[in-house]
Amino acid sequence: MPGFINPYPAMRQAAVLGVSSVFGGFPTVIMEALSLGLPVVSTDCPHGPAEILADGRYGKLVPMNDPEALAQALTAVMSDNNRSAYIQAGLTRVQDFSMESAVAAWEGFLLHPESSERN
Question: In CATH terms, is domain 8-111 a member of 1.10.357.10?
Answer: no
Instruction: State the amino acid at position 85 in one-letter form.
Output: A
**pLDDT for residue 66:** 97
- What's the rounded Cα separation, in Å, for the pair 90 and 36? 9
For 27, the 3-state DSSP assignment is: coil
pLDDT less than 70: residues of the chain: 116-119
Tell me how far apart the alpha carbons of residues 23 and 47 are, in angstroms, rounded to a whole number.
Answer: 7
Which pTM value belongs to this model? Answer: 0.84
Going by their DSSP bridges, the two strands 40-43 and 60-62 should be labelled as parallel
Domain boundaries, the chain: 8-111
Tell me: the pLDDT tens digits for 25-45?
A: 889 999 999 999 999 999 999
